Chains A and B, each alone.
Chain A
Amino acid sequence: MAFLKVSSPHAHGPMSTGRVMRLVLMATIPGLVALTWFFGFGTLTNVLWASLSALAFEALALKLRKRPIAFYLNDCSALVTAFLLGIALPPGSPLWLILVGTGFAILLCKHMYGGMGYNPFNPAMAAYVLLLISFPVEMTNWLAPRGAVPASELLGPIDALLRSLGIGSAPIDGVSMATPLDILKQNDALLVDDLWAQTPQFGTVAGIGWEWVNLAFLLGGLYLLYRRVFTWHAPLSMLLAIAIMALLFNDGGSSASGGGALFNLFSGATMFGAFFIITDPVSSAVSNRGRVIYGALIGVLVYIIRAWGNYPDAVAFAVLLMNFAAPFIDHYTQPRTYGHKKPNAQEKA
């Protein structure tokens, strides 16, 4: 037996990039299960196609850039991008849509900027926004959740595959339905309480299905927090900001209302964004103080775009806007190192 002699300190780094990424992948499982239960197998086919194509694009980019392919594929960062994009896309999205998305995310958003660790924008969210502004019809075509339609209407595994490939009569399988955020946005006649009573998509606190999906992502996120993959600063401040904005601007449920705090916290991509998107270590702010500001501003933007913007959900736009601002936030929130003056202090004097 050969013993490696190493001098002190005998510290070891338990968190390699690959390990962190695999933990993140694992933590999406509850959310994936919830999405599959409520919306059928469409999300799983999304994730499947996105993963395969993302790995292929990643290998292609690494080959073009003359980097070691196996080494970088092993860190699973492309898989994480693929999972996040696959979850964000409407269930059962067509294959070409997913290919365009992952291609843009991996080739342009990631490797054009220098690959893993150098991308200023979150690749999954950039691709999502690209698809949303390019193909609004396909991107707003959400399936109806279990509970609003009978379970037989949900996409089975074979149907989902056929649908994503665009084969046969599959596109009619699965009924599409506006999401609760959509309904709330387009409603200009009914009070929120009436809306709630008259449309089948609403559940206990938010949309039927959506509240459970958000809870599942919250669960996965808390697991990651427990494993110290990220700190609590960004997610907590984002959720608090959304809640505070919703409380401040909730007008008691008129037809122009953007929904209350609980509704906003458990609708759309709130929890998914808070724990899986804005905690991206590459494109977010780096200091703890910076993360609080970063998260809070994302929360504020999410509410602003949801309530007064053109698009029903806002997490992707808010994240991209704040990715722009992250270096700026970092500049003003550099922590003081022991024995040194406050950085950037001379500029204020």
Chain B
Amino acid sequence: MSDVNYREISLNGLWKNNPAIVQLLGLCPLLAVTGSVINAIGMGLATIFVLTVSNTCVSLIRNITSDAVRLPAFVMIIAAAVTCIELLMQAFAYELFQILGIFLPLITTNCVILGRADAFASKNRLLPSMYDGFIMGLGFSAVLILLGAIREVVGTGHIFANMELLFGESAKAWKIVLVDDYKAFLVAILPPGAFIFTGLIIALKNVIDGEIQKREAAKAENTAPTSRRVRVTGNIS
């Protein structure tokens, strides 16, 4: 376990094994609170915090918990972290706390967090676990924010509305109205829109992956032309 590859962890968390669009974990907050960018950022920050804290703590206690009580112990840690972020948000971003509502405490049940605790943190040393938690949270948040942006633009015609809930009064001016008197396209903000756009994002990722694979295959063919046999007869292995 000594040779932990941080690059590998980053690549996994952000792209190859992205919790939101590859593992499809934590769909409940993904679908429920991504109606706008600000909601997505709030939820993303909370998730990053909880993931990092829980991965750190789980990694610290990984050698002293028996297998039998492993999961309950993890859940306790996660619940404690969630309570922290909930109280923090209540103190510093009360309006956003009210908008996110039940989905903040529900982070406890987000499968990404328990999944990373069990699959990574309980088997790895402190620093890699912490880093993995942070990166996985970042990958999740990136999808949340992308989805939030798409849904806000398609649904309401403006973007970055209500940013002052998190970034202070000066952020009020961040709102950009893309189309004047846009007819609200309600379905994008309603749950069906979340499903449709998540599906489209996943499809886009698959297309990009396919292109990358094709290019790599083409490259591999170009670089090793000499190893090809011109005339092939019989069975070659």
User: Residues on A close to B: CB < 8 A?
Assistant: 96, 100, 108, 130, 133-136, 138
Contacts and interface: CB of A to CB of B under 8 A. Distances in A.
Given A130-B187, A134-B188, A135-B185, 11 more contacts: A100-B185, A130-B192, A133-B186, A133-B187, A133-B190, A133-B192, A134-B184, A134-B185, A134-B187, A135-B186, A136-B186
A135 B190 CA distance: 12
User: Which bucket holds chain B's interface residue count?
Assistant: under 10
Contacts of A108: 196
B7 interface: no
Contacts of B196: 108
A95 B49 CA distance: 47
Q: Shortest 6 CB-CB distances between A and B: which pairs?
A: A134-B187, A134-B186, A134-B185, A130-B187, A133-B187, A133-B186
19 contacts: A96-B183, A100-B185, A108-B196, A130-B187, A130-B192, A133-B186, A133-B187, A133-B190, A133-B192, A134-B184, A134-B185, A134-B186, A134-B187, A134-B188, A135-B183, A135-B185, A135-B186, A136-B186, A138-B183
Contacts of B186: 133-136
A130 B193 CA distance: 10
A72 B107 CA distance: 48
Contacts of B192: 130, 133
B91 to A, nearest CB: 37
A108 B190 CA distance: 17
Interface string B179-210: 00001111110101000100000000000000
Interface of B: 183-188, 190, 192, 196
A141 B184 CA distance: 17
Q: Which of B184, B187, B192, B196 has the most CB of A within 10 A?
A: B187
A135 B183 CA distance: 8
Contacts, number: 19
A116 B218 CA distance: 34
Nearest to B189: A134
Contacts of A134: 184-188
A97 to B, nearest CB: 9
Contacts of A100: 185
A320 to B, nearest CB: 11
A90 to B, nearest CB: 15
A134 B183 CA distance: 9
Contacts of A130: 187, 192
A272 B235 CA distance: 64
Nearest to A131: B187
Contacts of A96: 183
A121 B61 CA distance: 51
B198 to A, nearest CB: 13
A39 B227 CA distance: 75
A135 B186 CA distance: 7
A96 B157 CA distance: 15
Contacts of A135: 183, 185-186
A264 B76 CA distance: 57
Contacts of B188: 134
Nearest to A97: B183
A134 B196 CA distance: 14
Nearest to A100: B185
A133 B184 CA distance: 11
B211 to A, nearest CB: 15
B189 to A, nearest CB: 9
A96 B192 CA distance: 21
Q: Which of A130, A134, A136, A138 has the most CB of B within 10 A?
A: A134
Contacts of A133: 186-187, 190, 192
B64 to A, nearest CB: 49
Q: Which of B185, B188, B190 has the most CB of A within 10 A?
A: B185
A136 B192 CA distance: 16
A134 B187 CA distance: 5
Contacts of B190: 133
Contacts of B184: 134
A273 B159 CA distance: 40
Contacts of A136: 186
Nearest to A130: B187
Nearest to A96: B183
Q: Which of A100, A130, A136, A138 has the most CB of B within 10 A?
A: A130
A157 B185 CA distance: 29
A135 B185 CA distance: 7
A96 B185 CA distance: 12
A96 B183 CA distance: 10
Q: Which of B183, B185, B196 has the most CB of A within 10 A?
A: B183
Nearest to A138: B183
Nearest to A137: B183
A26 B23 CA distance: 49
